[in-house]
Amino acid sequence: MLHIDLPTRAEIAKLASHRGSPAVSLYLRTTPLTQDSKAERIELKNLLKSAVAEMAEAGIDKRSIWPIEERVGALIDDDDFWAYQANSLAIFATPERISTFRLANKLNTVTEVSDRFLLMPLIRALTFPHDAYVLAIGIGAARLVEVSADLPPHEAKVPGMPRDASAAIGRRSLVERPGDSQSGGGTTEHALLTRYSRAVDEALRPVLAGHERPLIIAAAEPLASIFRGVCSYPHLAEEIIAGSAGHTSEHELADAARAILDKIYAGEIAALADLYAARGAQGRATGDVAQAARAATFGAIDTLIVDMDVVLPGTVDEETGAVDFAQAADGVNYGVVDEIARRVIQSGAKVLAGRRADIPAGGDLAAILRYPI
């Protein structure tokens, strides 16, 4: 399975607020197969050498370089750490501390040295769903299936999950007995299925707490609608996998879930494109990097979507937002688009990282503004 520890939005905000040289950002493609980790550790060692050379070339004091070299070096030598990986690894290091995140996305290998962290690839991991949970629920059984981007689906352990509907409600069957609906006992079929759904939701709550991946229901009606009505998980998908799922294999559920994830992704992109077009007619949208930098500096951006692979080295003035592009990256400048995103995060607005094809108008970024500038 993938061993993932996605950053929370609070953790991303903390990374975004960091200022202080040197700050090293390393992104590395990894594999969940432990036996293949040797090559990845060698690759990380090479990335570290590159970062150290860049810091030295920028004139950074060796007393600030060696703690970073030591911390990342210790990570490279940690056998236990490499035994549990996902598809990518993000590392953020300063002389004082090191933070790591294992990600489901397959990210490009990157080394960045500056006085701030490179966040765009990390934000990509939170932008659109690459995995999901499927709740296959029926009268005869309920199970939670974890669907990942590249690994086989598997049933997740849910302590306290009701064995079936009868076990949840303490009855041998769901057949309504004469007079039950008049007794005030709430024993109609709908009421019993509601009790069952609440018991399943209660068991799921601690398992799903803190996650943001979609939960997709696989069920027949009326149980699908009843569970939707009581579900407390905030990331419940609108579309369901219809029909009885009691004997549906995990692979079939995963295939259906991935189709729904594609629709969720496409729907969000289409909605952003429509909103961008509408706001553009009002003077409240821009695809120009320099304009977006000024808007981000003054807190004027409501939603920003950027090309996660774009590299535009330079600097952005702290007070005016004026952009000074550079010919090449070094230990002093940073990614201009990444800096725009960082300022948008700090203003409390929404940032999405996508591919070039995802960006409205096909530019490096697309900014939807709170007001015309």
Per-residue pLDDT of the chain (373 residues; tens, 9 = 90+): 556 777 877 888 899 999 999 999 999 999 887 777 889 999 999 999 999 999 999 999 999 999 999 999 999 999 999 988 888 999 999 999 999 999 877 888 999 999 999 998 888 877 776 789 999 999 999 999 999 765 689 999 999 999 889 888 876 655 545 444 444 445 788 999 999 999 999 999 999 998 888 999 999 999 999 999 999 999 999 999 999 888 899 999 999 999 999 899 889 889 999 999 999 999 999 999 999 999 999 999 999 999 988 889 999 999 999 999 999 988 889 999 999 999 999 998 999 988 888 999 889 999 999 999 8
Among 106, 127, 148, identify where a domain stops.
127
78 with 98: CB under 8 angstroms? no
321, part of any domain = yes
**Are residue 142 and residue 261 in the same domain, yes or no?**
yes
- Structural domain tally of the chain? 3
Omega of the bond prior to 129 within 30 degrees of 0, cis? no
Q: Calculate the CA dihedral of residues 288, 294, 296, 299 and round it to 10 degrees.
A: -130
Query: Sheet harboring 110-114: ordered strands across?
Result: 98-103, 88-93, 23-29, 110-114
CATH of the domain at 13: 3.30.960.10
CA 275, CA 129: separation in Å to the nearest integer?
A: 21
Give how far Cα 232 sits from Cα of 201, 236, 330, Å.
Answer: 7, 9, 48
What's the pLDDT at 331? 85
**Are residue 178 and residue 241 in the same domain, yes or no?**
yes
**Are residue 193 and residue 168 in the same domain, yes or no?**
yes
97, part of any domain = yes
314 with 324: CB under 8 angstroms? yes
327, part of any domain = yes
**Element (H or E) spanning 305, and its range?**
strand 301-307
**Are residue 153 and residue 254 in the same domain, yes or no?**
yes
**Are residue 88 and residue 70 in the same domain, yes or no?**
yes
CA 227, CA 219: separation in Å to the nearest integer?
A: 9
Q: Which of 101, 74, 66 is nearest to 87 (CA)?
A: 101
Helices (H), the chain: 9-17, 37-57, 62-76, 79-82, 120-127, 165-169, 189-208, 223-230, 250-281, 289-297, 336-346
What's the pLDDT at 34? 72
Q: Which of 109, 72, 68, 62 is nearest to 88 (CA)?
A: 109
Among 127, 159, 188, identify where a domain stops.
127
CA 207, CA 238: separation in Å to the nearest integer?
A: 21
Residue range(s) defining the domain that contains residue 33? 9-127
Output DSSP code: residue 300: -
What's the pLDDT at 152? 81
274, part of any domain = no
What's the pLDDT at 65? 97
| Phi, psi (rounded to 5 degrees) for 93 | -130, 140
Instruction: Dig out the tokens for 103 from the structure.
Output: 């990600």
229, part of any domain = yes
CATH of the domain at 180: 3.30.420
Q: Which of 34, 24, 172, 184 is nearest to 110 (CA)?
A: 24
**Are residue 261 and residue 338 in the same domain, yes or no?**
no
**Are residue 301 and residue 210 in the same domain, yes or no?**
no
Among 242, 266, 290, identify where a domain stops.
266
